[in-house]
Structure 1
Amino acid sequence: MPSFDIVSQIDPQEVDNAVNNVVKEVETRYDFRGVNTEISFNKKVNAVNIVTGDDMKIKAVRDMLITHFTRRKVDPRVLDFGKVEPTSNGQLKQEVKLKEGIDKDTAKKIVKMIKATKIKVQAAIQDEQVRVTGKKLDDLQEVITLIREADLEMPFQYVNMKK
């Protein structure tokens, strides 16, 4: 029976490239001259750490991150901006977590949406992904279109299409 998986993944290499591009842009921008700004990507915890001078600079770095993620074809909806906190030396820091995997609530919403359409497919939650199985490929493609048009605050990829 044909099937595919709905997943939410990010390419760590593309994220690293986007962060490096932001670091290069910060080094060349005039408004960041004389301000100690650190931007680092921690692959182990899937987070970007920002340390800079003031609130305006934090907003500028946030905008640059969104821009460079879009350029590298990484959906900026994976960025989960934490709250801005002061550091001991008078600067501000912010942790930006990268959302990966489909949480249980979102997976349940997806399954409920699929069942509500009465398309002849089965949807099953498997860890951080949803597997959709059906008899016809057209039904599976209809489900992909449904998920793409749904306003869920996550980017999804459709992998392991088996015929």
Structure 2
Amino acid sequence: MPSFDITSKTDVNEVDNALNGISREISQRFDFKGSSCTIERSDNEITILADDDLKLKQMHELLKVHFTRRKLDAGACDFKTVEKASGNKVRQVIEIKQGIDKELAKKIVKDLKGSKLKVQVAIQGDELRVTGKKIDDLQSAIAHVKDMGIEQPLQYDNFRS
């Protein structure tokens, strides 16, 4: 029976490469001269430490530009609230989304079942398995999920016929 998987994975090596590029650009840019802005990653979290809100916004733009250069989707970043740090600085934690969380998985399953497509959807951990009798139904399911307007980047893997 034909099937495919819906997953959401971000390559952390490419994230590291993007962050290294950001660090280099911060050290070379004139508007960051004398500032102590840093960006670093641990596990699936990026921490930005900036002098003020203006520098934080500039670092957000750098993050989006460098992610795009590395063919990463900036939608994989979940920006948490900005908090005050020591010495009048601001800190923000950005979570890198890995896998499909339960709420999003349930939403996709409900939407696919309500679409009257002849496919079955099963939640398998942090990914979804979609099966159907016809390849055309599976292709329609992929198009339907893409049209849902989900911000998180999704990949459609293991398309088996």
TM-score (norm 1): 0.94
SS of structure 2 residue aligned to 1:151: coil
Amino acid at match of 2:69: R
Equivalent-residue separation in structure 1 for 2:21 and 2:86 (angstroms): 28
Q: What is the Cα deviation at residue 2 of structure 1?
A: 0.7
Provide the rounded CA distance (Å) in 2 between the counterparts of 1:126 and 1:6: 10
| Distance in 2, Cα, partners of 1:108 & 1:90 | 42
Which shifted more, 75-84 or 3-12? 75-84
* DSSP-derived class of the 2:63 partner: helix
Segment drifting more, 88-97 vs 1-10:
88-97
AA matched with 1:7: T
Structure 2 spans left out of the alignment, 5+ residues: none
Which AA in structure 2 matches 1:123? V
**Percentage of identical aligned residues:** 47
Aligned to 1:40: 40
Matches within 5 A, 1:13-162: 13-42=13-42, 44=43, 46-162=44-160
Compute the displacement of 1:64 (Å): 0.7
Over the residues paired in the alignment, what is the CA RMSD in angstroms?
1.1
Query: Hey, what's the Cα distance between the residues in 2 that align with 1:87 and 1:116?
Result: 47
Secondary structure class of the residue paired with 2:88: coil
User: Letter of the aligned partner of 2:94 in structure 1?
Assistant: V
SS of aligned partner of 1:40? strand
Post-superposition CA distance 1:22-67 (Å, at most 9, x none): 111111111100011111111x2x0111112111001100111011
In structure 1, distance between residues paired with 2:36 and 2:117: 56
Stretches of structure 1 that go unaligned for 5 or more consecutive residues are none
Distance 2:148 2:88 in 1: 43
Report the Cα distance in structure 2 between the residues aligned to 1:107 and 1:88, rounded to whole angstroms: 39
How many pairs align? 161
Give distance in 2, aligned partners of 1:37 and 1:68.
17
Per the TM alignment, residue 90 of structure 1 is displaced from its structure 2 partner at its CA by 2.7
CA distance in 2, matches of 1:110, 1:80: 19
Deviation of 1:89 (Å): 2.7
Counterpart of 2:9 in structure 1: which amino acid?
Answer: Q
Residue 4 of structure 2: SS of its match in structure 1? Answer: strand
